[in-house]
Amino acid sequence: MHIFEENFDLEKALFEDTEGSTLRLVKDGLQEGLHTTRKNIDKGLSPDDFTRAQALKQAFEAAEVVVETSWKNYRLP
């Protein structure tokens, strides 16, 4: 199953992911988006595009924290 398929239940997948493989796959996708966004920022952008790129960068960073925190919380005794 591809991680970004339509109707993918991320919460359920993270809950069932005892080995961390789904977590790694999701985080890899978020890191890829973050890397691409940072590259675009580093190339130089118009002020409006920079503002949008900064917001996108923050969204990727926040999403990674949320996914990892959710996965860890499912592992609590």
Q: Can you give the pLDDT of all 77 residues of the chain as single tens digits? A: 555 554 468 888 999 999 999 999 999 999 999 999 999 999 999 999 999 999 999 999 999 999 999 999 999 87
SS3 content of the chain, % helix, strand, coil (to 5): 75, 0, 25
Instruction: Tell me the angle at which helices 21-43 and 47-74 cross, rounded to the nearest 10 degrees.
Output: 170
**Domain extent at residue 35:** 20-74
As for how many domains the chain has, the answer is 1
Q: For residues 75 and 69, give the distance between their C-alpha atoms in angstroms, rounded to a whole number.
A: 10
Indicate whether 10 belongs to any domain: no
Predicted TM-score (pTM) of this structure: 0.82
Q: Which residues contact 20 (CB under 8 A, 6 or more apart)?
A: 71
